[in-house]
Amino acid sequence: MMRTKTLLTLLLFCIPGISMAQDHQPGENPIFRDRFTADPATMVYNDTMYLYVGHDEATGDQMFNINEWLVYSSTDMKNWTEHGAAMQALDFDWSQGNAWASQVIEKDGKFWFYPTTIDVNTEGDAIGVAVSDSPTGPFKDAIGGPLVVDSMTPTPEDPHDWDDIDPTAFTDDDGTTWISWGNNHLYLAKLKDNMTEIDGQIQELYLPNFTEGPWLHKREETYYLSYACFAHQNMWEKLCYATASDITGPWSYQGIIMDRNERSYTIHPAITEFKDQWYLFYHTGQLNIGDLTGDIGRRAVSAEYLFYNEDGTIKPLEKTKKGVSEPPNPPEEYQGPVFNLEGPLVDVPTDLEITQNDESREVWPGSPVITTHTEPYNEFTEPHSFNSAEGVSSLGQTIKVTDDFTLDRITLYAGDGFGTIEENPVTLALYDLGTEEVDSTYAAGENLLGSEDGLRINYKPQGLGFLSMDLPEDRQPELKAGHTYVIELKGVAGTASVFWRSSDDDSYSEGAAYLGRSLMKQNGQSRDFGVALYGN
């Protein structure tokens, strides 16, 4: 018997997934092993933890196949009672199907369910609202239509994008209820007391590296907004978070709570206090059931104890098999891996005075001489860093000068990333390419900024916005009419310190964007990075 158990343990750590047939101690991960579950949402009511999940039924090559939301409850976080489906997507008469991420909250003795599904009228993602007298349901459509649809959150660059997903709802100490949601665009709004209408304007928040799956919670006097991050930057999702002293902001980015999954590129947070202990719920792709292996669309909900530092920041967490099966053991000082892949954020040597601004993004600051587009927020949508498929070490934008002027400031339309550290520096360079037309590549000559390696930049992650660099007086070159110049960011190939945004098309006819000094094209058309030049 001992020999068999030892062999089973060895198999557990040798194969990339966890099988339903293996021993499962109460509280170990994943929590449920008879079916695939995703997008956890939690609620505490009457000393009971309620857990709402999407029933993940993808087979074969399906990416996702989720049509109902299941509900479970526990009084000890180890043993869970199944209550069946709280609701199915098609219970909404206006739904076309798909039961994506959701959350349930209690208010005044009723239970309000905010899920994501597809609106049959627009064929776009939408947020509904349902209500029940019981935390386990059944839930019924509360208003006969969506609470949030795409027309309420217009994004000029793509009026049919799928940013109205993954709602999180939160009632503050004063009784005000807030709802937040989004994909790539993050929204926040107040709910009316009836819990079925938006009260006032919808606010867009700009948090570094935000992708989807926001979750709001409050501890003492601090608001926390955790979310899945980095997927829109050609990376698998991690869990990031930000804090604020007011729910409407400003929000301060705090970094990464948990690293990426091994099989599924998605991850989804739910953070809840239960009986004086905090927990983080998430999903992975590590469960095997029969011939079905965990994957992008076959995920499994898990949980870990969550701990805070004295300053209120969250201690980063590793995914574990033991989960909450053993008593919590808070570390005095975190000793695990640093999830910011390029290291902790530190002040690094800089040659430039940097102004970071993610509070304004509609119009270039000041009075630039040349811009690659006049409306940066509407035009520059695609993020690029040195971690492209080619692993480039430079990002460049060519500019044609029409009148002589002295260059004294360069502003990039940028944001997100891991920030700069000494081991992976980012530098700024400027090259004169002459009066001839620039082809599909360019060769750099003398750096006009007066440094062989360029001017070093100290950058800490910000939301989408402006990154302005003032040139020292002794490094302000004279730009000549008729010449083409290239503004170049240089970095370490494979890193993602800062993301420079590009347009989807040829927004600036006098120049183009380059990755690794090769022309960047999409559908046969060149693209442009967002940049503005200043001077006199």
Residue 348 inside a domain? The answer is no
Q: What is the pLDDT of residue 160?
A: 57
268 and 389 both lie in a single domain: no
Q: Which one-letter amino acid corresponds to residue 430?
A: L
76 and 200 both lie in a single domain: yes
Q: To the nearest 10°, the Cα dihedral for 202, 208, 213, 214? A: -60
The tokens describing 323, both together, are: 């989960």
536 vs 157: CA distance, rounded Å = 32
Q: Are the C-beta atoms of residues 257 and 239 closer than 8 Å to each other? A: yes
CA dist 495 to 3, 77, 490, Å? 46, 39, 11
Q: Is 311 exposed, middle or buried (0-12, 13-18, 19+ CB in 10 A)?
A: exposed
136 and 263 both lie in a single domain: yes
Residue 319 inside a domain? The answer is no
Q: Are the C-beta atoms of residues 360 and 466 closer than 8 Å to each other? A: yes
Q: To the nearest 10°, the Cα dihedral for 170, 173, 177, 179? A: -30
243 and 113 both lie in a single domain: yes
Residue span of the structural domain in which 277 resides: 2-306
Please report, for the domain that includes residue 438, its CATH number: 2.60.120
371 and 254 both lie in a single domain: no
Q: Under DSSP, is residue 137 helix (H, G, I), strand (E, B) or coil?
A: coil
Residue 317 inside a domain? The answer is no
Residue 326 inside a domain? The answer is no
Q: Beta strands 525-526 and 140-141: pairing type?
A: unpaired
209 and 116 both lie in a single domain: yes
Residue 14 inside a domain? The answer is yes
Q: What is the pLDDT of residue 345?
A: 58
364 and 271 both lie in a single domain: no
Q: Which of 245, 271, 306 is the last residue of a domain?
A: 306
265 and 390 both lie in a single domain: no
The tokens describing 142, both together, are: 């509360």
Q: Which of 306, 337, 361 is the last residue of a domain?
A: 306
Cα 149 to chain center, whole Å?
21
Q: Which single residue is written with the structure tokens 């001017």?
A: 455
What radius of gyration, in Å, describes the C-alpha atoms of the chain?
Answer: 25
Residue 393 inside a domain? The answer is yes
246 and 387 both lie in a single domain: no
CA dist 142 to 132, 148, 194, 531, Å? 9, 13, 10, 47
Number of structural domains (the chain) is 2
Please report, for the domain that includes residue 189, its CATH number: 2.115.10.20
Residue 189 inside a domain? The answer is yes
221 and 137 both lie in a single domain: yes
Q: Which of 276, 306, 336 is the last residue of a domain?
A: 306
107 and 185 both lie in a single domain: yes
| Residue-level pLDDT, tens digit, the chain, 536 residues | 332 223 223 233 333 567 655 678 999 999 999 999 999 999 999 999 999 999 999 998 889 999 999 999 999 999 999 999 999 999 999 999 999 999 999 999 999 999 999 999 999 999 999 999 999 999 999 999 999 999 999 776 666 568 999 999 999 999 999 999 999 999 999 999 999 999 999 999 999 999 999 999 999 999 999 999 999 888 999 999 999 999 999 999 999 999 999 999 999 999 999 999 999 999 999 999 999 999 999 999 999 999 999 999 999 999 999 999 999 987 665 554 444 544 555 667 788 888 998 777 889 999 999 999 999 998 998 999 999 888 999 999 999 999 999 999 999 999 999 999 888 899 999 999 999 999 899 999 999 998 877 899 999 999 999 999 999 999 999 999 999 999 999 999 999 999 999 998 899 999 999 999 999 998 889 999 999 999 99
Residue 341 inside a domain? The answer is no
279 and 378 both lie in a single domain: no
CA dist 294 to 19, 74, 313, 478, Å? 10, 25, 32, 59
